[in-house]
Structure 1
Amino acid sequence: MKDYTHSIAFLGQWGRFQQVIFFLLCISIVPNGFGAFTLVFLMDMPNHHCLVPEGNLTEEWHEAIIPMKMVNGKQERISCSRYKLDVVRNLSAQGFVPGRNVNLTELQQERCVDGWSYSKDIYQSTLVSEFDLVCSEQWKQPFTSTVFYVGVVFGSFFAGQLSDRFGRKPVLFATMAVQTAFTFAQIFSVSWLMFTILLFFNGLGQMSNYIGALVLGAETLTGNVRVLYSSLGTCLGFAIGYMMLPLFAYFIRDWKPLLVALSVSSLVYLPFWWFIPESPLWLLSQGRVEEAEAIVRKAAKWNKVQAPRVIFQDYNVDETKTRPKEHHSVLDLVRNSQLRVLTFILCLVSFNMIFGYYSLSLNTAHLHADPYISAFLSAAVEVPAYISSWLALRYLPRRVAVIGTLLLEAVPLYLIQLVPQSLPNLALSLEMFAKYSITTGSSLMFAYIAELYPTVLRNTATGICSTVSRLGSCFAPMLLQQSMYYKYLPYIILATMAAVSAFAALFLPESFGKPLPETLQQMPKIERLKCPCITEKETPKAAGALLEGPL
């Protein structure tokens, strides 16, 4: 029986139909770049100190009422306390001058009972200044990010299964709508609790949209175009959104107008519904052969090629209609030892990659004193990583590429602690190279996972692996806190986890130069421990098949 790729080979790989699908799906991922790091600006903490009411204070006392502390050799105002206002007012009324006839260190202090005064040098307003998430309420800042990533985890878990059950296209657009609607709804938050609840639902659509677009494109496109889309196209769409975020934030420095701009700009995706079709491969897996053929015939018209009289001649329409439909769930991923081991290894590698990616991204966000420049630099380094990922997917066996990126992350992180303090730029270069490597590997994994599972389980498996990997983003801030005890401990942990993942990846099957499996029986088997190189079955001819046709 012909596989799907050979059945639609008459369309070619890069006609008008493929171009429309490629670019529209890539554009649909741009909001994910916005959403993934919007909290960097929404939850940033402006410089602040206790608010001092006007009146009954001389100018000297008004300036001196906030205690000072030494930070990195510079005097800065304390953020969470002030000298007792009643005492200061009495001293001011009696003509005492601070620092001259009053020892400020002997005065009692009190909390910021009148609120805080926030600097507007960088932001007009953030959630921190809006809801006073400072001092005793400062714990709400990291907790807010955790709630968002928990929403991402739940969205990744359920969206994959819903997509396998109800189709790629409906779930893709539903998650885009969820993301846009709840981003806009956050504008009307009247409390931190309300904002956090809405943010959770926003997170449900965040990564689900990415996974839906990735799988839909991977199943619709073929050959080199599939590789280009799965690696470079989707990831560059994300990176473009990430790089655009600091530009939006730079010109819109108030959190509410920023959310308006980000949500309204997503409305441009509404017309995409009429141009992006359902995955013909998914329709075939559901026995809906006529619908699949209709889409392919429309694609043939767009590409100006002649479609055969019967496109999917090996699919019996009457049989597929009368045959009971076989539904699959997450339980199918653990029904036998092969699937259990494969899923475990892929989840382990994916978790460690995302854990490393977010840990290094959050750490390198402080490269520059200007948060807008920091965010842009953190995004820009991902562009060469995604290009490297595309080249690796096109020319290298998958296991070699995955293991290589993990080792290239581990080695620089181990070496950082050997760099003398007199060479900070060298340590920074090693850390940035590690982020480049892990970003490349994270991009590889999305395409690799999609290639290993059959059509009936592809979105479920991709969603599960993404769900597990997203847990890494929740734990990343906790890892960075360990630097308070030992500066290099986070680097050692990340490097060790990368090395363990590289060893586990030795057992993964190879998918380079092979067609996408459509059934459980066509899935590749777990490898025995051996050198991750091209085997006898993976001859140069097989590897070259990637350049000629299907994966």
Structure 2
Amino acid sequence: MNFDEILRLIGGFGKFQKILYVWICVPQIFLAFHMLVSIFTGAVPPHVCQTGKSSANSQLFFNLSLQYTSDGQPDLSCKTPENRSSIVAFGDGHPTERCQGGWEYSKEIFESTIVTEWDLVCDRASLNNIGSSFYMFGLLVGAIVFGTLADKYGRRIIILISLSIQAVFGCAAAFAPNFYVYTALRFIVGTSISGVIMNAFVLGTEWTGPKERMLAGLLTDYFFGFGYIILAGVAYLVRDWRKLQLAISMPGFIFIFYIWVLPRSARWLMANGREEEAWDLIRKAAEINGNPLTKDMDVSKTCNSEEKPEEKKKHSFIDLVRTPKMRKRSLIIFYLWFANVLVYYGLSLNISSFGMNIYLTQMIFGLVEMPARTIILFTINRSRKFSQIAFLAVGGVACLLTVFIPSGMKGLIPLPCFLSFRRLTSHSSPASLIDQTLIKTALAMTGKFGITASLSIIYVYSAEVFPTVIRQNGIGIGSMCARTGGVLAPMLYFLKSFSPHVPMLLCGLCPLLGSVLTLLLPDTANKALPDTIEDVEG
């Protein structure tokens, strides 16, 4: 009797599993907070070089400084203008020298951010994006370190340790004395995020029956989406970055009670020769599910009916690219992981560039995740392949279309409906600005919809494309490729120095290329999983 047969006896998704998924899903809300909080803590308010003179029109000048930098080239705000009052009045004037006296920041939207506290603008602006990339690099390191430790010491203990690190170092980041200490603390938080995400997902799937695993796995994605939406409200209420960092980190200490409620993985215990402990957990789960097992069932019969370890052929990651068909499938899957995560975070972390109110945009982008994750429930069982192709194409085309929105569009949307949105350029009428902003945001939202759905599909698709003997290797390297995309996502906007359209151009082309490459993959819906490399090659 293997473990899946045991789950059929005790219930593949009964009361025990449902309670387990409550414990697994709640932390996902706070994971979303930490993943996306840099949108607000690292925001760049309108800013101007200090001149030592006050101006009654200072707020207008703040708006003007941001308008001039909407193309990604903040020359005016980085230099001292020769005639400040003439720029305010007529939008005219030229910068004369680099700013030496520091910057003034508008407090219309944010009380403080790491940018305003440590002057991460102009020649130091790149540090902000580098800090975000360093955090994403922490996710990559955490995936490697905590993945290895979880295989050795178990899922539960690593989840508990990761939650503790997340709370302690998240709070510590709120008291960072400088940018470099802050970045180092955020890096450690990033490693803990991977420890929770990976092992919570694995712990849940190891306790869930085969038929329910896809739906159960999507539950965690929904709660991440809830966190995405809630963060907009929390950030709206807490405008100081240090207080916001504390607000998202302090609740993490609540999870100390997981020491008493979070179960271990019986499947992992069995795989590591600890059958008696596993059997105790199985009996407890069976009782909670209302399917108690007889005491005379032989524990030894619960061991997997697979070959003994010494009889197995050893496999490594080299087998992913050793044979022709396997190599083609592996490289395509790795690229899909990379492209999905690159575009997902490329859009998520740069919502301020679309021009609408940052809090409203964050909430909309979070709301979009719900239908995106729901619709795949109706498409993925029909065809993994064409679902992946379709959603990649939707995401890519929508992002690509934002590049072609002309700046002079007029008369599409009545102005009074959008008076609350901040004006971002001085080169077009209010009506044209609102139309342009709304359309770009709508297209970006559509792109986010497609990429979110595609990202959910790739989890399932990867597990079915790789054969059993190298499945863990394939998903592990795919996850590393995904984290590489996450590291590069904040760097996309460095490319604005070449053209303001380059980031969204890449966000459009990468998914479209992935959509084309997916045509070369097999459709795995309702088909037996390959067990060996020979099954793939044959």
TM surpasses 0.5: yes
Write out aligned runs for 1:434-453 (5 A): 434-450=447-463
1:175 matched to 2:162? The reply is: yes
The whole-number CA distance in structure 1 between the counterparts of 2:4 and 2:167 is 34
Aligned partner of residue 48 in structure 2, secondary structure? strand
TM-superposed CA distance for 1:397, in Å, is 3.5
The whole-number CA distance in structure 2 between the counterparts of 1:225 and 1:193 is 45
TM-superposed CA distance for 1:48, in Å, is 2.6
1:196 matched to 2:183? The reply is: yes
Aligned amino acid, residue 50 of structure 1: C
Distance 1:366 1:495, change over 3 A: closer
**RMSD over aligned Cα, in angstroms?**
4.1
TM-superposed CA distance for 1:36, in Å, is 0.9
1:380 matched to 2:346? The reply is: no
1:298 corresponds to which of 275, 281, 284: 284
Aligned amino acid, residue 135 of structure 2: F
The whole-number CA distance in structure 1 between the counterparts of 2:451 and 2:327 is 25
Write out aligned runs for 1:463-542 (5 A): 463-482=476-495, 485=498, 489-508=502-521, 511-513=524-526, 521=531, 525-526=535-536
The whole-number CA distance in structure 2 between the counterparts of 1:388 and 1:235 is 13
The whole-number CA distance in structure 2 between the counterparts of 1:131 and 1:288 is 53
Match of 1:361 in 2: 348
TM-superposed CA distance for 1:174, in Å, is 2.1
Distance 1:140 1:497, change over 3 A: closer
**Residues 76-131 of structure 1, C-alpha deviations (whole Å, 9 max, x = no match):** 995334479xxx9xxxxxxxx987xxxxx999966554433322222222111221
1:392 corresponds to which of 376, 379, 382: 379
**Residues 53-97 of structure 1, C-alpha deviations (whole Å, 9 max, x = no match):** 5xxx7x679979x999677599x995334479xxx9xxxxxxxx9
Is 2:403–2:501's contact at 8 Å kept on the other side of the alignment? yes
Match of 1:228 in 2: 215
Distance 1:114 1:485, change over 3 A: closer
The whole-number CA distance in structure 2 between the counterparts of 1:312 and 1:502 is 48
TM-superposed CA distance for 1:7, in Å, is 2.3
Distance 1:428 1:243, change over 3 A: closer
Is 2:32–2:224's contact at 8 Å kept on the other side of the alignment? yes
Distance 1:21 1:527, change over 3 A: farther
Match of 1:539 in 2: none
TM-superposed CA distance for 1:34, in Å, is 0.4
The whole-number CA distance in structure 1 between the counterparts of 2:43 and 2:403 is 29
The whole-number CA distance in structure 1 between the counterparts of 2:336 and 2:395 is 13
The whole-number CA distance in structure 1 between the counterparts of 2:315 and 2:355 is 46
Distance 1:6 1:419, change over 3 A: same
**Residues 176-206 of structure 1, C-alpha deviations (whole Å, 9 max, x = no match):** 2222221111122111111111111111112
Is 1:161–1:463's contact at 8 Å kept on the other side of the alignment? no
The whole-number CA distance in structure 1 between the counterparts of 2:346 and 2:334 is 18
Aligned partner of residue 536 in structure 2, secondary structure? coil
Is 1:280–1:295's contact at 8 Å kept on the other side of the alignment? yes
**Residues 279-305 of structure 1, C-alpha deviations (whole Å, 9 max, x = no match):** 222222223222222211110111122
Aligned amino acid, residue 515 of structure 2: A
The whole-number CA distance in structure 2 between the counterparts of 1:164 and 1:457 is 16
1:250 matched to 2:263? The reply is: no
Is 2:354–2:440's contact at 8 Å kept on the other side of the alignment? no
Aligned partner of residue 183 in structure 1, secondary structure? helix
The whole-number CA distance in structure 2 between the counterparts of 1:373 and 1:71 is 19
Match of 1:21 in 2: 20
1:282 matched to 2:282? The reply is: no
Distance 1:504 1:48, change over 3 A: closer
TM-superposed CA distance for 1:269, in Å, is 1.7
Match of 1:405 in 2: 391
Distance 1:61 1:403, change over 3 A: closer
Aligned partner of residue 258 in structure 1, secondary structure? helix
Distance 1:354 1:132, change over 3 A: same
The whole-number CA distance in structure 2 between the counterparts of 1:52 and 1:183 is 37
1:163 matched to 2:176? The reply is: no
Aligned amino acid, residue 190 of structure 1: P
Q: Provide structure 2 residue ranges, at least 5 long, that are not aligned to the other structure.
A: 87-91, 413-435
Match of 1:79 in 2: 77
Please report the TM-score for the alignment, with normalisation by the length of structure 1. Answer: 0.78
TM-superposed CA distance for 1:343, in Å, is 3.7
Please report the TM-score for the alignment, with normalisation by the length of structure 2. Answer: 0.79
TM-superposed CA distance for 1:466, in Å, is 1.7
Is 2:76–2:94's contact at 8 Å kept on the other side of the alignment? no
The whole-number CA distance in structure 2 between the counterparts of 1:275 and 1:226 is 22
The whole-number CA distance in structure 2 between the counterparts of 1:240 and 1:426 is 25
1:237 corresponds to which of 223, 245, 251: 223
Is 1:22–1:217's contact at 8 Å kept on the other side of the alignment? yes
Once the two structures are aligned, what percentage of the paired residues are identical? 27
The whole-number CA distance in structure 2 between the counterparts of 1:372 and 1:111 is 33
Structure with larger Rg: 1
The whole-number CA distance in structure 2 between the counterparts of 1:368 and 1:83 is 25
Is 1:160–1:459's contact at 8 Å kept on the other side of the alignment? no
Write out aligned runs for 1:103-114 (5 A): 111-114=98-101
How many residue pairs get aligned? The number is: 500
Q: Provide structure 1 residue ranges, at least 5 long, that are not aligned to the other structure.
A: 89-96, 100-104, 529-551
Match of 2:424 in 1: none
